[in-house]
Amino acid sequence: MGVQAATVAKGRQPAPSFTSIRGCESDALDSILQLARKIRAGGVGHSRRGLQVNLFFEASTRTRTSFEVAGRRLGLDVVNLEVASSSVSKGESLADTVRTIDAIGPDVIVVRHSRAGAPEVVAANTAASVINAGDGAREHPTQAVLDAMTLMDRFQIASMADLRGLSIAVVGDIAHSRVARSNLSLWSLAGANIRLVGPRAFLPPGFAEAGWDVHHDLENGLRGTDVVYLLRVQLERQHGQMYPSMGEYHRRYGLTKHRLERLAPDALVMHPGPVNRGVEIADELMTDDRCLIQDQVTNGVWARMAVLDFLLDRLEKVSC
Ligand code: ASP
């Protein structure tokens, strides 16, 4: 799992990292999912010692809070580095910032950055385990873990492999979504049937050619699916190639109760947040029993505790 051969401070060995789902083995992911359930059930995982540094270069509410709560519940000391008031704002490079943090001796660095690949730069400059909390439009691996956990709960299934055959429609700005990339990797590994739904501009180039089940029409994309996974329109990553208007997007791709009932009445609805109400999803669905958004947030803490615990457990061992 994403172990980096790092150039690190003298005398310290590089630790296992979790920077992407791509390249992970299903056994490792399933172990993390089982661990998350055990931790939730009160079985294990509240007696770690160590230092976790949260290094967030991009805005975040739920992910940063979730990592902070997860670390504290495990017993770790957690430090949030305020990037705006750090030396980064004076022009220090990412590598230099990380080397400085590394010299303080963290066990885990959780990093979010607007550039794809930043977690690997961090991992190459520290002996700590690195967890990717979102890098550009590339990956957000802990989101995929918490989403799998949420699906396993609702479908009452024992392991990740039981997601096989589940039909999941991912709707929206897939091209700019790191959540979509991590989830597509995990769901593919599990053998789920995935449909990609959205306007052409929001679908990554080459996906239809590569054999993905692509739909530009919401009706076809959603009909009979088990799960509708909605994505936020990523205004901050679109660099001007916007959909004509948010109202128009909602008219064509927004999920309303009426649409859900007509196309997939038993489907569960997920969204990684933050939600643009009235764009991807109608207000009325936010409190619907089929909407799992709050469960996703709650499971985020258990899933992140499991990832932290899993990595800390392997600090002295060979990684998975
Ligand atoms: N919170 C998720 C992320 O950081 C999803 C989003 O921002 O739309 O990628």
Domain spans in the chain, listed from the N-terminal domain onward: 2-139+299-313, 141-293
Query: For residue range 88-141, what is the model confidence (pLDDT) as tens digits?
Result: 766 779 999 999 999 999 999 999 999 999 999 999 999 999 999 999 999 999
State the distance from the centre of ligand 1 to the C-alpha of 274, rounded, in angstroms: 7
8 Å CB contact between 79 and 310: no
8 Å CB contact between 309 and 75: no
Amino acid at 34: Q
Indicate the pTM of the whole model. Answer: 0.93
The pLDDT-based confidence of 45 (bands split at 50, 70, 90) is: low
Query: Does 237 have pLDDT greater than 70?
Result: no
Query: Does 6 have pLDDT greater than 60?
Result: no
- Kindly report the protein residue whose alpha carbon is nearest to atom 1 of ligand 1: 273
b or e along 96-110 (b: 16 or more beta carbons within 10 Å of the residue's beta carbon)?
Answer: ebbbebbeeebbbbb
What's residue 319's pLDDT? Answer: 41
Question: What is the percentage of the chain residues whose pLDDT exceeds 70?
Answer: 89
Class of domain 141-293: alpha beta
Query: Does 316 have pLDDT greater than 60?
Result: no
What's residue 320's pLDDT? Answer: 40
Q: Could you give the CA distance from residue 34 to residue 100 in angstroms, rounded to a whole number?
A: 35
Ligand 1 neighbour 40 (Cβ under 6 A): no
Question: Where is average pLDDT lowest: 24-38, 86-100, 149-163?
Answer: 86-100
Q: What is the mean pLDDT of the chain?
A: 90
Counting from 1 in the atom list of ligand 1, the atom nearest the Cα of 179 is: 9
State the distance from the centre of ligand 1 to the C-alpha of 7, rounded, in angstroms: 30
Assigned token pair, 318:
């060979």
Which phi and psi (to 5°) does residue 230 adopt?
-90, 145
What angle do the packed helices 293-313 and 141-154 form, to 10 degrees? Answer: 120
The pLDDT-based confidence of 7 (bands split at 50, 70, 90) is: very low
What is the Cα gyration radius of the chain?
20
Ligand 1 neighbour 272 (Cβ under 6 A): yes
Query: What is the CATH number that goes with domain 2-139+299-313?
Result: 3.40.50.1370
Ligand 1 neighbour 181 (Cβ under 6 A): no
Q: Using alpha carbons only, give the angle 61, 15, 296 rounded to the nearest 5 degrees.
A: 30
What's residue 315's pLDDT? Answer: 67
Instruction: Report, as an integer, the average pLDDT of 138-160.
Output: 98
Ligand 1 neighbour 293 (Cβ under 6 A): no
Ligand 1 neighbour 198 (Cβ under 6 A): no
8 Å CB contact between 182 and 132: no
State the distance from the centre of ligand 1 to the C-alpha of 74, rounded, in angstroms: 25
Query: Does 5 have pLDDT greater than 70?
Result: no
Q: Could you give the CA distance from residue 111 to residue 174 in angstroms, rounded to a whole number?
A: 22
Cα 136–chain centre separation: 12
- Kindly report the protein residue whose alpha carbon is nearest to atom 8 of ligand 1: 232
Residue with tokens 């992407």: 20
Cβ contacts of 196 within 8 Å, gap of 6 or more? 170, 174, 203, 207, 212, 213, 214, 215, 221
Ligand 1 neighbour 179 (Cβ under 6 A): yes
